[in-house]
Amino acid sequence: MSHHAFIGQYIDEHQSRFSALSDAIWDVPETRFEEWQSSALLADALAQEGFHVTRGAGQLGTAFIATLGSGKPVIAILGEFDALAGLSQQAGCATPQPLTENGNGHGCGHNLLGTAGVAAACAIKAWWAQHGQCGTLRFYGCPGEEGGSGKTFMVREGLFDDVDAAITWHPEGFSGLFNLSTLANIQAAFRFKGVAAHAANAPHLGRSALDAVTLMNTGANFLREHIVQEARLHYAVTNSGGVSPNVVQADAEVLYLIRAPLMAQAQAIYQRVINIARGAALMTDTQMTVRFEKACSSYVPNRALEAVMEHNLQHFGVPRYSEEEQRFAAAMRATLTPDDLHNARLNAARTGGEAGEAWVAALGDRALTDSVAPSVATREILYGSTDVGDVSWVTPVAQCFAPCFAFGTPLHTWQLVAQGRTPIAHKGMCLAAKVMAATALTLLEDAAALARCREEFAALRRAHPYTCPIPAGVRPATL
């Protein structure tokens, strides 16, 4: 039996087990670096399969590495499991119905993401049981992707230094390659310290930290005209200084997320934002401090490794759906706006150039896709960020998308949470597991294929040296 047939049969036979594991993580949504139950569920599942599990990897409490085999090559599968705040939602429900008001929810499908990697690792272990081990397989349990850059911290600690290649995926509304670069980012908090006073009787004695935050945000908004057009500035006021308008607010804080195509660009914009914060402090006679929280580099595709993954994507195709699943997907699609659908079409088309545009046009109004999206080597950017980027700067990486939701469903929404615990999501997750298992086995067994990936990566590093963007001493921040 070929490894394609073996992997497909193994994951199909164990789909209910992996679906239950994914659902268990969906049921306990935990945010960045606090994923204690979610991390344990995945780590325990691999330990029970005979993997050697190292918990608390890289001094990150919820990170772990599960290892099977020995020697070279070392192939890594990356998995995530963190949720998002404020996205609690009932599963399988096509209307917004929070399970817990303002509670957490898996609005990016990471309950599926990590579980598919575990399923792929288990399939490879089963193959090895019949055909013998060849090298080392590792599963990296990676916490805090959402606003935490957990993998970047893991890279900084050297956890990927001996890895020959890594593979991962992301849930989406279609099947295809994640073959786009992404935006590098830096996240930092700016705290202003002023002087409290009675806002009516003695306002002249006060120094408003909230005024400083407001002026900083105004200055940053004027900065937008003078940065590269692909850059992004986002901010959230995390401490407004209190709820009493008759008190001059003495403490206030704003959290900034700065993005740009290159880390050097993000760092330059960050310095300008710091200067704006200094100006706001001068204008308000307050004290300003900066707390650097995290950063991640742009994602660098490896075309040789993508070719291996695309071959497996085409082999396994797309899931088949029941009439009930089709009806539910149509109900979810009906909740989306024309802008949601337009943006999804643009994102899908970016992966395939003109062929991608034709593929999107042929979709019509189908809620569930029925073919793999084409892909071409492209300089297009996915206007988001991922800490997989830093892994791609230290070892070759390839990623794919698998269809887990109605086409057009935006990430980080209640609609995505509602679909993340359904048979549609489970089918996409298992498809991703098959693709990753087959890709990893190719790298483990075909030295020439791996050598092509490594040669391309070596050329990248010669042209563009890498420095981890998170300074030594910076520790992960929870919400």
Question: Distance between CA 18 and CA 71 in Å, rounded?
Answer: 28
Nearest to 296 by CA among 427, 224, 392, 209: 392
Percent of the chain with pLDDT over 70: 100
Set out the domains of the chain in order of their start, with CATH numbers: 3-181+298-463 (3.40.630.10), 184-295 (3.30.70.360)
Asked if pLDDT for residue 66 goes beyond 80, the answer is yes
φ and ψ at residue 470, rounded to 5 degrees: -100, 115
Q: Quick one: CA dihedral 431, 434, 440, 445, positive or negative? A: negative
Contacts of 264 (CB under 8 A, 6+ apart): none
pLDDT at 361: 94
Question: Distance between CA 475 and CA 104 in Å, rounded?
Answer: 23
Amino acid, single-letter form, for residue 387: D
∠ at Cα 252 (249, 257), nearest 5°?
Answer: 155
Tokens 């999804």, residue located: 344
∠ at Cα 285 (282, 286), nearest 5°?
Answer: 95
pLDDT category at 343 given cuts 50, 70, 90 is very high
Q: Give the pLDDT confidence of 106-123 residue by residue, as tens digits.
A: 999 999 999 999 999 999
pLDDT at 201: 96
Nearest to 229 by CA among 388, 410, 383: 383
Question: Distance between CA 414 and CA 96 in Å, rounded?
Answer: 6
∠ at Cα 471 (466, 472), nearest 5°?
Answer: 110
Q: Quick one: CA dihedral 417, 419, 423, 428, positive or negative? A: negative
Percent of the chain with pLDDT over 90: 98
Asked if pLDDT for residue 479 goes beyond 80, the answer is no
Amino acid, single-letter form, for residue 362: A
pLDDT at 99: 96
Contacts of 192 (CB under 8 A, 6+ apart): 209, 210, 212, 213, 216, 251, 252, 253, 280, 281, 284, 286, 287, 288
pLDDT at 478: 83
Average pLDDT, stretch 39-49? 98
Asked if pLDDT for residue 133 goes beyond 90, the answer is yes
pLDDT category at 1 given cuts 50, 70, 90 is confident
Q: Give the pLDDT confidence of 175-202 residue by residue, as tens digits.
A: 999 999 999 999 999 999 999 999 999 9
pLDDT at 477: 84
Average pLDDT, stretch 439-456? 98
Question: Distance between CA 381 and CA 359 in Å, rounded?
Answer: 19
Tokens 């090895």, residue located: 128
∠ at Cα 186 (55, 235), nearest 5°?
Answer: 115
pLDDT at 394: 98
DSSP state of 54: E
pLDDT category at 144 given cuts 50, 70, 90 is very high
pLDDT category at 204 given cuts 50, 70, 90 is very high
Average pLDDT, stretch 317-333? 97
φ and ψ at residue 253, rounded to 5 degrees: -145, 145
Asked if pLDDT for residue 158 goes beyond 90, the answer is yes
Q: Are 350 and 148 in contact (CB under 8 A)?
A: no
Nearest to 166 by CA among 393, 448, 396: 396
Question: Distance between CA 20 and CA 29 in Å, rounded?
Answer: 15
Average pLDDT, stretch 280-284? 98
Question: Distance between CA 223 and CA 214 in Å, rounded?
Answer: 14
As a 3-state breakdown, the chain gives helix, strand, coil percent values, each rounded to 5, of 45, 20, 35
CA 353 to chain centre: 24
Element (H, E) at 425: helix 423-445
Beta strands, E only, 407-459: none
Mean of per-residue pLDDT scores for the chain: 97
Q: Are 418 and 111 in contact (CB under 8 A)?
A: no
Relative to beta strand 397-403, strand 176-177 is antiparallel
Question: Distance between CA 449 and CA 306 in Å, rounded?
Answer: 11
Average pLDDT, stretch 415-420? 98
Q: Give the pLDDT confidence of 122-131 residue by residue, as tens digits.
A: 999 999 999 9
